[in-house]
Amino acid sequence: MREQLAKIREDALSRLAAVRDSGELEELRVRYLGKKGEMTAVLKQMGRLPAEERPDMGKLANEVRAAIEEKLAEAKKRVDAQALELKLRAETVDVTIPGRVPDIGHRHPMYIALDEMKEIFIGMGFTVVDGPEIELAELNFDRLNAEEGHPSRDWSDTFYFDRDSRVMLRSQTSPMQVRAMDTLPLPIRMVAPGRVYRKDEVDATHSPMFHQVEGMVIDRGVTMADLKGTLNTVIRKMYGENTQTRFRPHHFPFTEPSCEVDVQCHKCGGAGCPTCKGEGWIELLGAGMIHPHVLEMAGIDPDVWSGWAFGFGLERTAMRRFKIDDLRLIFENDVRFLEQF
Ligand code: PHE
């Protein structure tokens, strides 16, 4: 038994001296000091010794155990230090390496055009207001003189939420005229940009979701001449002093008289090309003098107050501004396209 203990000590100490990682270390600890380890196996034989030998043997066993434990602790220190060293080396940060510059991105071209437009209107004393995309048909249609049975209320053109056709995705920003008349004090000068929805198929000039910028002025003695002057000023600020515009008679239920406003085609300068479909002109907006009945429905006396309103197509405005010839590019969000602006 004495020899057994001596052998265990010698083995254990030499193996522990050579240990390289914490896995090996744990293996050795279990092998020598574990419940089923070599020391335990030896101690189990103690009972068979004559009584007078037991104290000596017990003392020896304790010494061997203590020696192994000490060596274990020492080996653990060494292995831990090595592991830390490795970890530090692997995780070194070289502060002299140049950093990676993050891609910051920038405003979308349509919003650049919108911001320019807002700036111009704010400079002319307009306030910018915001309203819901989920709208009551009452405001989108009834209060704008488009009663039951009006063709634009048809299910084939409009996204409704309910069978009774009372709640819908607004098909135009014009209900913002009504909201402004109902909430703002007179006189009013406001613009209201936002999304609108119609059941259109996607092509180079159509999308079921697009943006409009509504505008409205109500004051005493406001005329069509003010409308023309204001719109021409805005369009020339956006597109250049020499930009030609064309006011064409049109019909909207909530304005009378009504017009559509075109701007000369940027591609061909008016000669006619595929971009303007041979017209030489690109339609930008609808406008007109607010119908007296619309004022009356908002409780505004048309004998005292008059006003006008307009609705820009924002995509078209941006396309003309940046010479983009396909509407789909605005929504596809291809970074190669967007980076050009
Ligand atoms: N809301 C109209 C449209 O979507 C445009 C418009 C706005 C016309 C304001 C007149 C006045 O076509």
Residues 266, 276: Cα–Cα separation, whole Å = 9
CA of 311 from ligand 1 middle (Å) equals 5
* Predicted confidence (pLDDT) at residue 244 exceeds the cutoff of 90: yes
Tell me, using a 6 A CB cutoff, whether residue 146 lines ligand 1. Answer: no
Tokens 């007179």, residue?
A: 186
Instruction: Report the share of the chain in percent with pLDDT over 70.
Output: 100
For 99-108, the pLDDT digits (tens) are 899 888 889 9
The pLDDT score that the predictor gives to residue 37 is 87
* Predicted confidence (pLDDT) at residue 24 exceeds the cutoff of 90: no
For 280-308, the pLDDT digits (tens) are 999 999 999 999 999 999 999 999 999 99
In contact, 255 and 340? CB cutoff 8 Å: no
CA of 318 from ligand 1 middle (Å) equals 18
The pLDDT score that the predictor gives to residue 91 is 87
* Predicted confidence (pLDDT) at residue 4 exceeds the cutoff of 90: no
CA of 180 from ligand 1 middle (Å) equals 15
Average pLDDT over residues 204-211: 93
CA of 174 from ligand 1 middle (Å) equals 6
Alpha carbon separation from 232 to 116, 227, 285 (Å, rounded): 15, 8, 12
Tell me, using a 6 A CB cutoff, whether residue 194 lines ligand 1. Answer: no
Ligand 1 atom showing the smallest separation from residue 258 Cα: 10
Residues 143, 170: Cα–Cα separation, whole Å = 13
* pLDDT category of residue 175 using cuts at 50, 70 and 90: very high
Tell me, using a 6 A CB cutoff, whether residue 311 lines ligand 1. Answer: yes
CA of 252 from ligand 1 middle (Å) equals 7
Tell me, using a 6 A CB cutoff, whether residue 175 lines ligand 1. Answer: no
CA of 172 from ligand 1 middle (Å) equals 7
140, 200, 212: residue to mutate for ligand 1 pocket, most atoms within 8 A of CB: 212
* pLDDT category of residue 22 using cuts at 50, 70 and 90: confident
Look at the pTM and tell me if it is higher than 0.85.
no
The pLDDT score that the predictor gives to residue 183 is 98
Tell me, using a 6 A CB cutoff, whether residue 172 lines ligand 1. Answer: yes
The pLDDT score that the predictor gives to residue 160 is 97
Residues 108, 301: Cα–Cα separation, whole Å = 42
